[in-house]
Amino acid sequence: MAGPTGRGNSLGAALNDLLRTQVTPRHRLSSYSAKHWHAQLSQLTGTHRGYQTLEAAGLDVTAKTLLNWLSDPEYNIRRSYRDLIHTAYENVAIVPAEPIPDHVRDGQFEISGTVKTGNDERERGTRRAAPLRIDGGRGDWTEIEARWAASDLADQDFEDHFIDDVIVADIGEGTDGWDFPGSSYSVELR
If asked whether residues 49 and 10 sit together in one domain, one would say no
> Residue 126 has what pLDDT?
94
pTM reported for the whole predicted model? 0.77
Residues of the chain predicted below pLDDT 70: 1
> Residue 171 has what pLDDT?
95
Residue type, 177: G
* Surface-to-core class of residue 11, CB atoms within 10 Å of its CB (0-12 exposed, 13-18 middle, 19+ buried): buried
If asked whether residues 127 and 177 sit together in one domain, one would say yes
- Residue 68 belongs to domain spanning: 27-95
> Residue 149 has what pLDDT?
94
Residue count of the chain: 190
> Residue 37 has what pLDDT?
94
User: How many angstroms separate the Cα of 13 from the Cα of each of 3, 141, 159?
Assistant: 18, 17, 8
If asked whether residues 88 and 105 sit together in one domain, one would say no
If asked whether residues 147 and 82 sit together in one domain, one would say no
> Residue 94 has what pLDDT?
87
> Residue 5 has what pLDDT?
97
Among candidate residues 43, 72, 95, the one where a domain is terminated = 95
> Residue 2 has what pLDDT?
76
> Residue 1 has what pLDDT?
60
If asked whether residues 39 and 102 sit together in one domain, one would say no
Apex CA 140: angle with CA 137 and CA 142, to 5°? 125
